Chains A and B, each alone.
Chain A
Amino acid sequence: MRRYYFDLIDAQGLSVDDEGLECSDTQQVQAEAARALADLAREAIHEAAGGLEQRMAISVRDDDGPVMEVEFSFEIHRSLR
């Protein structure tokens, strides 16, 4: 078990994780980051009523440095009429 820190980058800027989460392996880290991003993205899109293009990322680090980055992007392409 190691402690990993999940920093969030979104339209509001950077939210640094000062508490962290203990995970048993990088597979679990990936799952946590992906789930968290899915929740945050869902909420951002609901709040924006589908109007805004959203890009957000979670940057995961441990005591030794960066571990992974998980990114979400949401694009709308209207057909020309």
Chain B
Amino acid sequence: MAGPFANALITKLLVTNNLDDEDVSAILSLPIRSQRFDAHTLIVREGDRPEESCLIANGFAFRSKTTFDGQRQIVSLHIPGEIPDLQSLHLHVMDHDLATLTPCFLGFITHMDLRALNGARPNVAAALWRETLVDASIFREWIVNVGRRPGTVRMAHLLSELRYRLEAIGRTTDGAFELPITQLELGDCLGLSAVHVNRVLKELRDEGLIQAERPSFRLLDKAGLEERGHFEPSYLHLSPSL
């Protein structure tokens, strides 16, 4: 497994899991097929039966479902080190779409190789399982976010969440991060219209909480934004002990 993939995956796994040296060696010797994707490109489609899973070395991806009348809901955003379709190892048919948000550098690992790794290193298998469980925890929080919170609170919550997730893998600089995303896409994440997103971002700017010149988001008042978003980070399980 080449440098950028190994770094991304190990960095991400170590946020939430303990791995020993043999676990790390086993992961580093996984064969991986790298591929560059343009932005807004489908990686795996609902209904597909993939035989490999993809690891993000660079860029952002998202999972989504689209209703019968063409309305898209983004159900999750994914960052480097994550394997957004890891579930396809055990759930053979994709029940959602996986696509790139930005240009991505992706690495594809076969299910056969993942199964061999899991068999050889039960600790790694447990770590990968835990990753999918954290994934599910984030979904639960998004359900509450979209189902119950007012628009401005939803946005404050999402931005706080992204800050924590990116900071854990060393991808923020002093509360600032790059997230190339349109108002429409943010709306699809939060169940808001693009117009509402525009208003909500303005409100957070006027309150002095963020600076948003997309693609950059700078959190000016991290604690203030968390409070505005009713945000509490424990659901992210950003430590092996959580």
Contact = CB atoms under 8 A, between A and B. Distances in A.
Interface residues of B, number: 15
B150 interface: yes
Interface stretch (B89-97, B126-134, B169-177, B194-202): B194-202
A19 interface: yes
A19 B198 contact: yes
Main secondary structure of the interface of B (DSSP, over half): helix
A40 B199 contact: yes
A17 B198 CA distance: 6
A43 B151 contact: yes
Enumerate the 5 nearest inter-chain pairs by beta-carbon distance, A residue then B residue, closest first.
Answer: A36-B195, A36-B193, A6-B195, A15-B199, A15-B202
Given A21-B184, A46-B150, A39 B196 contact: yes
A62 interface: no
Interface string B163-190: 0000000000000000000111000000
A75 B202 CA distance: 27
B104 interface: no
B182 A19 contact: yes
B194 A36 contact: yes
Contacts, number: 49
Interface string B185-225: 00000001111101100110000000000100000000000
Interface in A6-50: 6, 8, 10, 12, 15, 17-19, 21, 32-33, 35-37, 39-40, 43, 46-47
Interface of A: 6, 8, 10, 12, 15, 17-19, 21, 32-33, 35-37, 39-40, 43, 46-47, 58
B173 to A, nearest CB: 25
A19 B213 CA distance: 11
A75 B84 CA distance: 48
A15 B198 contact: yes
B29 to A, nearest CB: 45
A8 B192 contact: no
B193 A32 contact: yes
B182 to A, nearest CB: 7
24 contacts: A6-B194, A8-B198, A8-B199, A10-B199, A17-B194, A17-B198, A18-B198, A19-B182, A19-B183, A19-B198, A19-B214, A21-B183, A21-B194, A32-B194, A32-B195, A33-B195, A35-B193, A37-B195, A40-B151, A40-B193, A40-B196, A43-B150, A47-B150, A58-B195
